[in-house]
Amino acid sequence: MDKNEVKNFIAKRVAKELHDGDVVNLGIGLPTLIPNFLPEGVDVTLQSENGFIGLVSTEMEDKELARYVCNAGGAPASIAKDGMFFDSATSFGIIRGGHVDVTVLGSMEVAENGDIANWIVPGKSVPGMGGAMDLVVGAKKVIVAMTHTQKGAPKILKHCTLPLTAEKQVNLIVTEMGVMEVRPEGLVLTEYNPEYTIEEVQAATEATLIIPDDIKQMEL
Amino acid sequence: MGKTQIVSAQEAAKVIKDGMTVMVGGFMNNGSPRDLIKAICDAGAKDLTIVCNDCGFVGVGAGALLANGQVKKLIASHVGLNKQVAEKYNAGELELVLQPQGTLAEQIRAAGAGLGGVITPTGMGTIVAEGKDTIVIDGKEYLVEKPIHADVAVIGAYMADETGNAIYKGSTRNFNVLMASAADTVIVAAEHIVPAGEIGPDHVETPHIFVDYLVQETNIGEFE
């Protein structure tokens, strides 16, 4: 798979995690591909942390209005018929208050206990956390959607090395190699991509993967 | 407080003095008043502390003030789209405080609402919590964040009536609505200024009692 195929593969698998009626916040990048792959009959409400529910990722048809509506990445967007605009305090009240069912975001590192680090590389890159810290603390389910490794180096670790975004908040990790659930007993590989062996998935992962008896092959 | 005065952007910009804390509304420039910010650049007040979500882009939105060398300290949540922030920070020319976006919003709201702070689970267990108080409520530990108040708030509105009652459009509400409550002097830059009563009490989002100066603006929406 090339880079784009990998992204679409991950997005397609994450889409299966969403349920009809869910309120969902999608991070910038890969997660924005997920709506393209929603199963038939699954309709979700997208929350955009810059201030609305009902995010639609196409530019407003009304050109007069288009310049007033962007998504959280500053790209043109529009709003669904049942949507609503609000200020940033209301937006993060929705997020922190547990009114978002699922947030999907990328990460630089995730630990086997659900710790996540995705906002700063000290001395190199200081983009800031934006809404990520509130999202991972507030959303009912936190899904990390990312490539399994970075230039061959594992991103799924025993312990994060970068400053944390939050402790123990990740529920599920979906990569091109597999699907991993953070459970009390540890990180469980529930599905693996049959293009790889389970041993190859473990070799690309620093964290110890628990392999259950009922492990499945990833299906899209 | 007195009544809202309708003035030119140049006149309004004069209220910003060296060393002041200034809030700038907008999210990736969406909702940032361009004409008013340009007037503040031209007026040239130095050593400002700027409070904004993201500092816009290089030279645009709040980024225009940074590019113009007027900013000593920046309080924001995301600065990744303005590479000048990292450049100036790494060169030791800029103090930078990064706060979680929802916390920043509530800190501003708390100042405007007279609250002593924000009690939030966000940031617990991270470097954001370092050196800050925590409090346990019903067995759960929260971080205590102080209110953020400003000398001046710079607000981009879609429409205001001549008394200062303002409304917003689309996703431009963001930090504008909150900042309009949280500064000693509030300047609303509105694309449309209409007679009193035209917006109507059911629709006003920022009440005129918050607003000191109203200026005509041509561009609060553009975000790219």
Give the confidence band of B37 by pLDDT, cuts at 50, 70, 90.
Answer: very high
Average pLDDT, chain B: 96
What is the spatial distance between Cα B172 and Cα B156, in angstroms, rounded to a whole number?
8
Encode pLDDT of A149-168 as tens digits.
999 999 999 999 999 999 99
Nearest CA in chain A to B105: A89
Nearest CA among B77, B107, B92 for reference residue B178: B107
CB-CB neighbors (< 8 A) of A48 in chain B: 171
- Chain B closest-CA separation from residue A116 CA (Å): 10
B170 and chain A: CB distance < 8 Å anywhere? yes
- CATH classification (class only), B5-115+146-216: alpha beta
Encode pLDDT of B130-166 as tens digits.
999 999 999 999 999 999 999 999 999 999 999 999 9
Chain-chain contact of A163 with B89 (C-beta, under 8 angstroms): no
Given CA atoms B48, B179, B57, A128 in this order, what sign does their dihedral have?
A: positive
B98 and chain A: CB distance < 8 Å anywhere? yes
Chain-chain contact of B171 with A49 (C-beta, under 8 angstroms): no
ipTM field: 0.97
pLDDT for position A59: 87
pLDDT for position B221: 73
- Chain A closest-CA separation from residue B106 CA (Å): 6
- CATH classification (class only), A3-217: alpha beta
What sections of chain A are H helices per DSSP?
3-15, 63-66, 88-96, 132-138, 198-203
Encode pLDDT of A7-43 as tens digits.
999 999 999 999 999 999 999 899 999 999 999 999 9
Neighbours of A58 (CB within 10 A): 8
Encode pLDDT of B50-71 as tens digits.
999 999 999 999 999 999 999 9
Q: Are B186 and B11 in contact (CB under 8 A)?
A: no
Residue A174 has pLDDT above 90, yes or no: yes
Domain extents in chain B: 5-115+146-216
Q: Token match 């007679």: residue?
A: B195
Classify B222 as helix, strand or coil: coil
Q: Are A163 and A120 in contact (CB under 8 A)?
A: yes
Chain-chain contact of B122 with A163 (C-beta, under 8 angstroms): no
B28 and chain A: CB distance < 8 Å anywhere? yes
Tell me which DSSP letter residue A2 carries. -
Residue B24, token pair as written in the block? 């700038």
Domain extents in chain A: 3-217
Residue A152, token pair as written in the block? 């061959």
Chain-chain contact of B28 with A138 (C-beta, under 8 angstroms): no
Chain-chain contact of A133 with B79 (C-beta, under 8 angstroms): no
